[in-house]
Amino acid sequence: MYLITHKEKLSQTITKYVVKAPFIAPKRKAGNFVILRVEEHGERIPITIVDSDAKEGTITLIVQAIGKTTKLLATKNVGDYILDVVGPLGNPTPIENHGAVVCIGGGVGTAEMLPIAKALKKAGNSIYTIIGARSKELIILENEMKEISDKTFITTDDGSYGRKGVVTDQLKDLLDAPLGISAVYAIGPLPMMKFVSLLTKQYDVQTLVSLNAIMVDGTGMCGGCRVTIGGEMKFACVDGPEFDGHQVDFDEMLMRSRSYLAMEKISDELFTHQCQLEK
Amino acid sequence: MKIARQHSIEQEASERKKNFLEVSFGLNEERAFIEAKRCLECKNPICTEGCPVGIDIRSFVQLILQKDYLGAVQKIRETNYLPAICGRVCPQETQCEQVCTMGKKHEPVAIGKLERFVADFELANNLFCPPTISERRDEKVAIVGSGPAGLTCAAELGKLGYQVTIFEALHGIGGVLRYGIPEFRLPKKILDIEAERIQALGVKIYTNFLVGRTATIDELFDEWKFNAIFLGTGAGTPSFMGIPGESLSGVYSANEFLTRINLMKAYSFPEYDTPIRIGQQIAVIGGGNTAMDAVRTAKRLGAERAYLIYRRSREEMPAREEEIHHAEEEGIEFLLLTNPTKILGDKNNWVCGIECLKMELGDSDDSGRRKPVAIKDSEFVIPVQTVIEAVGQKPNPIIQQTTSGLNVGKRGTVVVNDVQQTSREGIFAGGDLTRGGATVILAMGDGKIAAKEIHKYLQAKSKKLEEQFTATTIAEPVLA
Ligand SMILES: Cc1cc2nc3c(=O)[nH]c(=O)nc-3n(C[C@H](O)[C@H](O)[C@H](O)COP(=O)(O)OP(=O)(O)OC[C@H]3O[C@@H](n4cnc5c(N)ncnc54)[C@H](O)[C@@H]3O)c2cc1C
Ligand SMILES: Cc1cc2nc3c(=O)[nH]c(=O)nc-3n(C[C@H](O)[C@H](O)[C@H](O)COP(=O)(O)OP(=O)(O)OC[C@H]3O[C@@H](n4cnc5c(N)ncnc54)[C@H](O)[C@@H]3O)c2cc1C
Ligand code: SF4
Ligand code: FES
């Protein structure tokens, strides 16, 4: 049982949780994730560890409520427990001093980017950050990102904040400018990571993406998280979750990530309906 | 001998293929008694030699004849701590029952069924009493993985009074017994009870703890102060055939399919949140226990046609005879001497068919089995919407990669000597991790040997410490 010690709403649908997990906290590195199960009947879902406090024995998670499990989690408050949390899973992000790097966070992906950007900064890189979202309300962690970035850019699809457009518009400008960008880190929706990778390929700039495959165990046991990287089958949970964006078969992944769409809808509707009744 | 081998009472195939209740209810008291009478009480009970953990079979069978069922189960427990499980899943036909004298002329004694009978009797009447632990010891032993290997090792060391902690990556314990073998063959309640009994020995269990990540082996020694470690992490990583179409939606490894259903109870979706989607027609590839469990599970989830595709013939199938038989009764369609070559998808990237080649048996290979050879131009396509691959597993590499000095074999297995010792001092290993895919009872046997060896190792170590201690105290003159 894992106690929630702090809860804070970052946007309409995105919430930050601090959770007691004394074994995981001192061990986590940028890029690691946990798998959690909220309640007995629950599904196991992967969530990135955004931050940790070894002394307090806590980890920080930032979660977007998009379906049954993440909405159920959002009903939990400080003092409540999460049934299971296992981790830290996955390989830590390879951090090097590349000189100048671009860090791109799309939507809740910004939360997952934060620890990586921090680590990259610590390793001596100049950080150019791009935060992208559909509209202003969905921009999170702007100040935290600004604090560690040399320069921060915001793009929104509807132009309600920052530049109107998508992250690749801004990225193209940065790659064209004489900044010496030698690596790009991108985390966000699959289509975003796909188009970032297509663009950086033209510039021959090394690109790392974090693949949010559907997972069950997260230990390499089920093979459900398999992705094709450079023509080879890899398991995102133990071989990743980060991979060379130029090698990823994004179209295949997009198709696979829709496998349970119909059933996710049933779960979500049942849950939302029940919540309405309780109100 | 005129008495025929007694059979279990079973659910009708037409009924049971619609539910997840146990297929077999086992022998009742009357049948068990008749069956026990069939035992010849051989002077040289060769059955015990056929048992990987050497259960004193003749004696426990005789105790059944005396109606001392508790005595019988206690006899078994002297060598096997999990009789209710082994009585259900052991491949007896290739072990004790294969060599049973009675089987030379007639059918062998149903040893497995008798084992299950006494174990169930103890369970139903709540007669289990934990063994007394005569001595509490200070040394700490870590058990990594809670499959049959780890559970057995923990139980044996617990009995000896050691401070034992089991670390399990998943949220439930039991390894394949929980996430792989379905409820209709091994009810989870039995596993839960076994877990309680092991905890009653003072064994601590941490679930949600992935050794290698949550803490490495070296940290378990250095920071957690364990004195010895047993690795029983199994062979959980699924292999895929490498044929086109494996990334389509609707293609599962048997592990994922069974985990969703057994561990996550996807058969009760949406009451449970984990989904599973299966088509009207499904195909399972493979011929082992895993394949048999997957195909029978798919049938229970409502598949109209469930095919089992295996590239050799029925004789070569590695699955337990009983399971093959049950699968046939349940209407599983066996496509033998058939090899899949391609999985076909529709425009939404969902599986819509599987292309196969017909095979024939050629010369024997290294394993002595006849090699299947493709028949030219024999391709055919079966329409299916779900494909489940059960074509083998290998050890998960996390521990091997995060532990220095551990010798690892070619197929990723951890190398041990004949007493389950690894190349690193204080680290022992067993079960599927060292054997590749094997059986529950072999994993248990390894766990037992390792426990004995860990006991020896720790005793030798403490003796050495004691000697050193006395040596130093004597060497230092008392300066009065
Ligand atoms: C390594 C890893 C790290 C992640 N870190 C975070 C994080 O820090 N914060 C966060 O909010 N989310 C993160 N995710 C995504 C998160 O796991 C999913 O949002 C969650 O599983 C959805 O569960 P649900 O039951 O609420 O929704 P579901 O009903 O399962 O799904 C709702 C919608 O989300 C999509 N979806 C389902 N699974 C995933 C997935 N794994 N990734 C992306 N979309 C998915 C579905 O296609 C569907 O449209 C991460 C995923 C991975 C693999
Ligand atoms: C579907 C299926 C059906 C089978 N049917 C039969 C049968 O009928 N009869 C039979 O005799 N055999 C059967 N087998 C084989 C049998 O189950 C295995 O041989 C046996 O379970 C091996 O036991 P084990 O203890 O070595 O490992 P496992 O049972 O695999 O258990 C290993 C455990 O270790 C955990 N683990 C792994 N890595 C770590 C880590 N780093 N840290 C912490 N925990 C970790 C895993 O989560 C797992 O719980 C079947 C196998 C399958 C897959
Ligand atoms: S070999 Fe068969 S008949 Fe002989 S003692 Fe064992 S079970 Fe009885
Ligand atoms: S989540 Fe099961 S293998 Fe990766």
The predicted-structure confidence for B224-275, as pLDDT tens digits, reads as follows 999 999 999 999 999 999 999 999 999 999 999 999 999 999 888 888 999 8
The pLDDT of residue A277: 67
Q: How far is A54 from chain B (nearest CA, A)?
A: 13
Q: Tell me the β-bridge partners of B281.
A: B305
* Average pLDDT over chain B, rounded to an integer: 92
Stretch A215-244: mean pLDDT = 95
3-class secondary structure, B237 = strand
Stretch A117-132: mean pLDDT = 95
- CA–CA gap between residue B331 and residue A107 (Å, rounded): 50
Q: Which of A52, A70, A265 to mutate to test the pocket of ligand 1 (most atoms within 8 A of CB)?
A: A70
Q: Which residue has the higher pLDDT, A265 or B235?
A: B235
The pLDDT of residue B133: 87
CA of residue B318 to ligand 3 center, whole Å: 25
DSSP letter for each residue of B61-113: HHHHHTT-HHHHHHHHHTT-S-HHHHHHH--GGGTHHHH-THHHHSPPP-HHH
Per-residue model confidence as pLDDT tens digits over A153-167: 999 999 899 899 999
Longest dimension (CA), chain A: 58
Q: HSE-up of B374 (CA within 13 Å, CB side)?
A: 10
The pLDDT of residue A5: 96
Structure tokens at A166: 């998508």
User: Best of B171, B398, B399, B432 to disrupt the A interface by mutation (most A CBs within 10 Å)?
Assistant: B171
User: CB–CB of B205/B146 below 8 Å?
Assistant: yes
Interchain CB contact of A216 with B (< 8 Å): yes
Stretch B177-196: mean pLDDT = 93
Structure tokens at B412: 């990723």
Q: Which atom of ligand 4 is nearest to the CA of A223?
A: 3
- CA–CA gap between residue B420 and residue B416 (Å, rounded): 5
- Does the pTM of the predicted model rise above 0.90? yes
Interchain CB contact of B213 with A (< 8 Å): yes
* Of the listed ranges A160-164, A225-229, A234-238, B455-459, the one predicted with least confidence: A160-164
- CA–CA gap between residue A102 and residue A113 (Å, rounded): 11
* Average pLDDT over chain A, rounded to an integer: 93
- CA–CA gap between residue A202 and residue B440 (Å, rounded): 54
CA of residue A36 to ligand 4 center, whole Å: 14
The pLDDT of residue B471: 63
* Of the listed ranges A24-28, B268-272, B326-330, B412-416, the one predicted with least confidence: B268-272
- CA–CA gap between residue B344 and residue B352 (Å, rounded): 6
The pLDDT of residue B60: 95
User: CB–CB of A20/A85 below 8 Å?
Assistant: no
Stretch B146-152: mean pLDDT = 96
Q: Which ligand is closest in space to the CA of residue B102?
A: 3
At residue B465 the predicted structure's pLDDT band, cuts being 50, 70 and 90, is confident
At residue B362 the predicted structure's pLDDT band, cuts being 50, 70 and 90, is confident
- CA–CA gap between residue B13 and residue B326 (Å, rounded): 8
- CA–CA gap between residue A193 and residue A84 (Å, rounded): 30
At residue B476 the predicted structure's pLDDT band, cuts being 50, 70 and 90, is low
Nearest to A199 by CA among A229, A228, A166: A166
Classify residue A25 by its DSSP letter. G
pLDDT over threshold 90, residue A275: no
Per-residue model confidence as pLDDT tens digits over B279-326: 899 999 999 999 999 999 999 999 999 999 999 999 889 999 889 999
Window 41-100 of A, Cβ < 8 Å to B: 41-44, 68-69, 83-89
Per-residue model confidence as pLDDT tens digits over A48-75: 999 999 999 999 999 999 999 999 999 9
CB A223 to CB B240 under 8 A? Answer: yes
Stretch B173-196: mean pLDDT = 94
The pLDDT of residue B119: 95
CA of residue A67 to ligand 1 center, whole Å: 8
At residue B480 the predicted structure's pLDDT band, cuts being 50, 70 and 90, is very low
Stretch B95-101: mean pLDDT = 93
The pLDDT of residue B134: 83
- CA–CA gap between residue B376 and residue A83 (Å, rounded): 55
Q: Which of B41, B63, B99 to mutate to test the pocket of ligand 3 (most atoms within 8 A of CB)?
A: B41
The pLDDT of residue B390: 96
Stretch B176-180: mean pLDDT = 96
Q: What percent of chain A stands above pLDDT 90? A: 85
- CA–CA gap between residue A196 and residue A194 (Å, rounded): 6
CA of residue A223 to ligand 4 center, whole Å: 5
- With a 6 Å cutoff on the Cβ, whether A256 touches ligand 1 is no
At residue B475 the predicted structure's pLDDT band, cuts being 50, 70 and 90, is low
Question: Nearest residue of A to residue B401 by CA position?
Answer: A238
- With a 6 Å cutoff on the Cβ, whether B258 touches ligand 2 is yes
A183 contacts: CB under 8 Å, gap ≥ 6:
A96, A98, A101, A102, A205, A206, A207, A208
At residue B473 the predicted structure's pLDDT band, cuts being 50, 70 and 90, is low
Stretch B412-431: mean pLDDT = 95
Stretch B98-110: mean pLDDT = 92
User: CB–CB of B333/B391 below 8 Å?
Assistant: no
User: CB–CB of B52/B45 below 8 Å?
Assistant: no
